[in-house]
């Protein structure tokens, strides 16, 4: 099979790494890819939102399966376009991708199908949103409804902060049309976990659990980022709670979306808040998490291509998905200053020193310049390792992190620590 992966971040490097292991795959392409992916797939310089060029490439190469990594092409309808031209593609169609593309739509669906989530209201004008905040008080959470690259959520500790967020979104338009609507919801306390599931339109099969680290600094301090590291499994999601999440969250969502005439095929990612054994949904994403994909895919024993084909063909019930017991940890190395401004173009040293067979360095924001690998993004590398225990996986990840350096590089030093406390 000829396979095309769309995307060029750490998640896509992990997808390519796993797909390349499938005996079914005879040729592997990635658009646009990155220097890490180059060793495993042929990178083609097409942007993830250039749908006509992606389609033309897939047709010319007679691609048998296209796998969509990021949310943007999904919300733009890349799946619908490929299907209309008779091409096999893994991911939700545009209507189903609206679960991530519109938080207002997502909340409406959760409410309609009784999926537990924070109480909320949706607003299309700033004055009513502000009046609601005045009445509700703080803490309170303000979300731009549309895509905002993970930056559209403000967890406000004061009314003033919440009102400023509404003004930024709706009046200063800092996220453009993604701020046409805002969702304002109750603050939820607890511990977060990510539960991703393979979906075939009729059923959801959960993957092993994982936990992201959204804030930039140790101890969950500082501003939110795209994710500074992840590990799997996340002991906060016990087997009993995973079972509850299937019953209360995944099953009703998949059944609900089918009833809406928007069957969900692809990866449904539930961002969950767990408090005293109670699960509430913070959000849904319609694709693998980044960096959750890195440790989760490292733990997948089964052939990912087989699973994706079963999803597309509506026969997830016919296959068994197997996982490695060994925990895995991904530590993100970021550019100094991220998630604020940072300097690009520093040569990265030490990549060739990583030779541990139980560790792998996934590239995210890198480029090749004059023969050297340099940093070009905020999140640059995801150093991922497995171990017999979570502690061993953490130690191995950091041993390999410490082999790599560039000017300003930093990482969190406590990835996985919450998981250790639970033992």
Question: CB–CB of 71/86 below 8 Å?
Answer: no
* From candidates 31, 54, 63, 118, binder to ligand AMP by CB under 6 A: 118
* Site track 194-233 with ligand AMP (rule: CB under 6 A), x = hit: --------------------x---------x---------
The CB-of-55 to ligand AMP minimum distance in angstroms stands at 30
Residue among 31, 27, 59, 66 nearest 45 (CA): 31
Task: Determine which residue in the list 112, 131, 177, 187 makes contact with ligand AMP, applying CB under 6 A.
Answer: 187
Residue 282's binding partner among ligand GLY, ligand AMP, none (Cβ under 5 to 8 angstroms by kind) is ligand AMP
Joined together, the tokens standing for residue 182 give 């805002």
Min CB(80)–ligand AMP separation in Å: 25
User: Exposure pattern of 265-285 as b/e (b: 16+ CB <10 Å)?
Assistant: bbbbbbbbbbeeeebbbbbbb
Exactly one of 169, 282, 331, 404 binds ligand AMP (CB under 6 A); that residue is 282
Residues 227, 215: contact at Cβ < 8 Å?
Answer: no
**In terms of CB distance, is 202 or 214 closer to ligand GLY?**
214
> CB under 5 to 8 A by kind: which of ligand AMP, ligand GLY, none does 319 bind?
none
Among the listed ranges 57-65, 283-291, 362-370, 389-397, the one in contact with ligand GLY (CB under 6 A) is 283-291
Q: Which does 285 bind (CB under 5 to 8 A by kind): ligand GLY, ligand AMP, none?
A: ligand GLY
Strands (DSSP E) contained in 104-174 are 120-123, 140-144, 153-156
Binding partner of residue 153 among ligand AMP, ligand GLY, none, CB cut-off 5 to 8 Å per kind: ligand AMP
Residue 139 and residue 160: Cα distance in Å, rounded?
A: 10
Nearest distance from C-beta of residue 369 to ligand GLY, angstroms: 27
What 3-state DSSP class applies to 243? helix
Q: Which of 98, 185, 290, 303 binds ligand GLY (CB under 6 A)?
A: 290
Written as six digits, the tokens of 29 are 């392409």
Q: How many CB atoms lie within 10 A of CB 189?
A: 8
Angle between helices 103-112 and 94-101 (to 10 degrees): 100
* Torsion sign (Cα): 354, 357, 358, 361: positive
By C-beta, is 10 or 201 nearer to ligand GLY?
10
Q: How far is the CB of 212 from ligand AMP (least distance, A)?
A: 7
Binding residue for ligand GLY, selected from 67, 292, 364, 396, defined by CB under 6 A:
292
CB of 285 to ligand GLY, least distance (A): 5
- H/E stretch holding 2 reads strand 2-7
Q: Of the candidates 185, 200, 290, 303, which one interacts with ligand AMP according to CB under 6 A?
A: 185
Among 64, 283, 290, 303, contact with ligand AMP (rule: CB under 6 A): 283
Contact pattern for ligand GLY over residues 368 through 397, marking x by CB under 6 A: ------------------------------
CA dist 328 and 326 (Å) reads: 7
Which residues, numbered 142-171, are part of the site for ligand AMP (CB under 6 A)? 143, 153, 155
Hey, what are 271's tokens? 């961002």
Q: Which residues contact 88 (CB under 8 A, 6 or more apart)?
A: 64, 65, 66, 82, 309, 312
Does 145 sit behind a cis peptide bond, omega within 30 degrees of 0 on the bond before it? Answer: no
Q: How far apart are CA 261 and CA 105, in angstroms?
A: 14
Residues making contact with ligand AMP (CB under 6 A) = 118, 141, 143, 153, 155, 185, 187-188, 192, 214, 224, 271, 282-283
């Amino acid at each position: 099979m000829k396979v095309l992966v769309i995307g060029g971040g750490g998640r896509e490097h992990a997808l390519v790494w796993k797909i390349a292991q499938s005996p079914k795959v005879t040729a592997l392409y990635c658009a646009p890819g990155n220097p890490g992916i180059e060793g495993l797939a042929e990178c083609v310089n097409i942007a993830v939102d250039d749908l006509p060029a992606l389609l033309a490439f897939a047709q010319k190469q007679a691609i048998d399966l296209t796998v969509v990594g990021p949310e943007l092409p999904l919300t733009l309808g890349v799946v619908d376009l490929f299907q209309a031209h008779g091409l096999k593609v893994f991911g939700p169609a545009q209507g189903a991708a609206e679960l991530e593309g519109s938080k207002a739509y997502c909340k409406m669906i959760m409410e309609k199908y009784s999926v537990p989530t924070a109480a909320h209201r949706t607003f299309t004008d700033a004055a009513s949103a502000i009046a609601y905040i005045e009445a509700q008080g703080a803490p309170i959470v303000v979300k731009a409804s549309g895509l905002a690259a993970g930056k559209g959520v403000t967890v406000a500790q004061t009314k003033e902060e919440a009102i400023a967020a509404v003004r930024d979104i709706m009046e200063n338009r800092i996220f453009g049309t993604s701020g046409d609507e805002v969702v304002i919801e109750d603050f939820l306390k607890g511990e977060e976990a990510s539960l991703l599931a393979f979906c075939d339109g009729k059923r959801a099969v959960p993957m092993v659990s994982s936990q992201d680290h959204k804030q930039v600094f140790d101890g969950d301090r500082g501003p939110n980022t795209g994710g500074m590291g992840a590990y799997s499994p996340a002991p906060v999601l016990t087997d009993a709670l995973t079972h509850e999440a299937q019953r209360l969250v995944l099953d009703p969502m998949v059944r609900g979306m089918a009833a809406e005439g928007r069957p969900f095929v692809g990866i449904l990612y539930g961002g969950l808040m767990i408090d005293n054994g109670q699960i509430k949904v913070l959000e849904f994403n319609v694709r693998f998490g980044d960096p959750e994909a890195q440790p989760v895919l490292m733990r997948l024993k089964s052939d990912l291509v087989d699973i994706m084909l079963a999803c597309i063909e509506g026969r997830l019930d016919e296959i068994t998905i197997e996982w490695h017991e060994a925990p895995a940890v991904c530590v993100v190395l970021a550019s100094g200053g991220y998630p604020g401004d940072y300097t690009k173009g520093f040569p990265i040293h030490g990549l060739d020193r990583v030779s541990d067979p139980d560790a792998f360095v996934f590239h995210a924001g890198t480029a090749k310049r004059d023969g050297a690998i340099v940093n070009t993004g905020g999140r640059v590398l995801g150093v991922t390792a497995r171990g017999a225990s979570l502690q061993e996986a953490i130690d191995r990840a950091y041993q390999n992190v410490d082999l790599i350096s560039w000017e300003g590089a930093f990482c969190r030093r406590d990835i996985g620590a919450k998981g250790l406390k639970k033992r």
